[in-house]
Structure 1
Amino acid sequence: MAEQKRVTYTIDEQGIATVCLNRADKLNAIDMGMFQAVNATTRALKKDPSVRAVIVKGNGSDFCSGLDVKSILTSKTDAMKLLFKWWPFSPNGAQRFSLGWREIPAPVIFAIHGRCWGGGLQLASGGDFRIATPDASFSIMEAKWGLIPDMGGAIAFRELMRKDHTLEMAMTAKEIIGEQAKEYGLVTKIEEDPFEAAYALALECINRSPDVLAANKKLYHNTWWSSPGKALWLETWYQIKVALGKNRAIAVKRERKPDDKKDYIARQFK
């Protein structure tokens, strides 16, 4: 019997891609195959101009229970493959697992239920939005195994949480639930049906120009921690690129004639 694909995705007629972590029998725990499948998926979605928004969910009882410790840590070769990098300031395979979602020029929304622990939390933190059930649980679990979070958490957590909350979770491996995770900044919204809410948010986003979505995402990722000068320069440069694009004129027409909305053309902003 062929092994089930670790990650699957479909793109509907609206251009909304639904990505599923597909290792439900192991609570979507992350093994080498999951690392490879997620990284291949983000590369494919990044290159596909038809993708207007992305929703990521987990099949089964949990979004992702974290690292499959037995699988990864028992293979020194796999661990070295994940941690190896040619250039110290570029992401390795484990870090791309989270940071790769940032490179997709469209909104990425994580729909979370059940456990979102360890590497699963770092994965979800790489998205633009996180919508979770009230009873979803979150943990920076790595301390339990004598490790530190190393899948891009040093970037994602500092943008989402206060430093003391991050240190508390990373040092204790404590578990927090729904509303507390929202209070800490890990969760954007709490909803009973996070996928339905994620899809509704995706529809709101794709009502706007794909160039605007891509430019906003790139602008804020590139300037959130930059100098004021760099932020002002990129804001102006990206605005010029967006304003000169064909989708800008289409956006104006759509607002002036809401009953006769013309479709946007494929994303031009890069």
Structure 2
Amino acid sequence: MTTELVTLEIKQQIAYVCLNRPDKMNALNFDMFVAIDKMIKKIAKNRSINAVIVYGAEGNFSSGLDVKSLSKQPSKAVSLLFKFLPGNANLAQRVSIGWQRLPVPVIAVLQGCCFGGGVQIALGADMRIAEPSAKLSIMEAKWGLVPDMAGLASLRQLMSKDKALQLTYSAQILTAEQALNYGLVSEVCDTPMARAEQLAAQFLQTSPDAIAAIKHSINRSWSASIRQLLSRESLSQVALLVGKNCKIAAIRQTSKPDKAYIARQRWW
């Protein structure tokens, strides 16, 4: 599927999602928020997809919010932030937290600039692979805004509060190595797309249901009580043991892993 602002290519159970507004360094206008949200929902419905790689067109991940565009469209700015209940995710937040809610590994490939809303989207991924020349910044304060795209849900798990405050207060632009030291990216690599594909291929060798359960358990239990963690672990394990995918991981370690293809059976 191809849209004006987001492209999707599926190869060997891996979905390649491209933020495709290169003339604006993939800046986020209202239509792009809508396109990303729709893409996440489309991927969620496709159980043949077992990994996702998110990247930006023509050497940049995203320069962040297109403030000029949204300032000219106040009604769309309201639509971006509207929610029925305060605890629900609005459109601006779904383009970040939506990746966490997918039951498959999501890898962000970071090249060029990754600022503001671009960082928030990347934080929704399970891991972030950056090339050495990439630049990152939680830049909202520079424009008199707060980071409000749900990226803080991940940021608070990646670094200490004082470091998170420092980065959000200052809007400091970080090199890839600095971002790695802060924990903002997972790896720095000369060929980030190749590394993301290597990771995705490794993930495809295990059970898709097991990965879905692991992702669900970790995301829900990382800051939960011990009792909640133990309960979720046990329920997930029972569901896996009685499911059709129970033996899939072992089969995929054989000399004919392609024979072990199976779509996800459960929705976690």
Q: Give the TM-score taking structure 2 as reference length.
A: 0.95
Alignment partner, residue 248 of structure 2: 250
Aligned-partner Cα distance in 2 for 1:31–1:145: 16
Q: What SS does structure 1 have at the residue aligned with 2:260?
A: coil
Q: Which of residues 11, 17, 20 in structure 1 aligns to 2:18? A: 20
Q: Percent identity?
A: 45
Aligned-partner Cα distance in 2 for 1:86–1:136: 37
Map 1:65-104 to 2 at 5 A.
65-104=63-102
Letter in 2 for 1:51: I
Alignment partner, residue 223 of structure 1: 221
- Where structure 1 has 5 or more consecutive residues not aligned to the other structure, the ranges are none
Alignment partner, residue 255 of structure 2: 259
Q: Is the 8 A contact 2:53 2:108 kept in 1?
A: yes
Q: What SS does structure 2 have at the residue aligned with 1:60?
A: helix
Q: Is the 8 A contact 1:242 1:269 kept in 2?
A: no
Q: Is the 8 A contact 2:205 2:252 kept in 1?
A: no
Alignment partner, residue 187 of structure 2: 189
Q: Give the TM-score taking structure 1 as reference length.
A: 0.95
Deviations 1:15-40 (A, max 9, x none): 10000010001000000011000000
User: Are positions 1:40 and 2:38 aligned together?
Assistant: yes
Structure 1 residue 153: deviation in Å? 2.3
Structure 1 residue 76: deviation in Å? 1.4
Aligned-partner Cα distance in 2 for 1:73–1:82: 12
Q: What SS does structure 2 have at the residue aligned with 1:19?
A: strand
Q: Is the 8 A contact 2:251 2:260 kept in 1?
A: no
Aligned length: 264
Alignment partner, residue 208 of structure 2: 210
Question: C-alpha root-mean-square deviation of aligned residues, in Å?
Answer: 1.2
- Where structure 2 has 5 or more consecutive residues not aligned to the other structure, the ranges are none
Deviations 1:65-84 (A, max 9, x none): 01111001232111110111
Aligned-partner Cα distance in 1 for 2:256–2:263: 19
Letter in 1 for 2:133: D
Q: What SS does structure 1 have at the residue aligned with 2:79?
A: helix
Deviations 1:3-62 (A, max 9, x none): x711011111x1100000100010000000110000000010011101010000101131
Aligned-partner Cα distance in 2 for 1:101–1:223: 17
Alignment partner, residue 4 of structure 2: 5
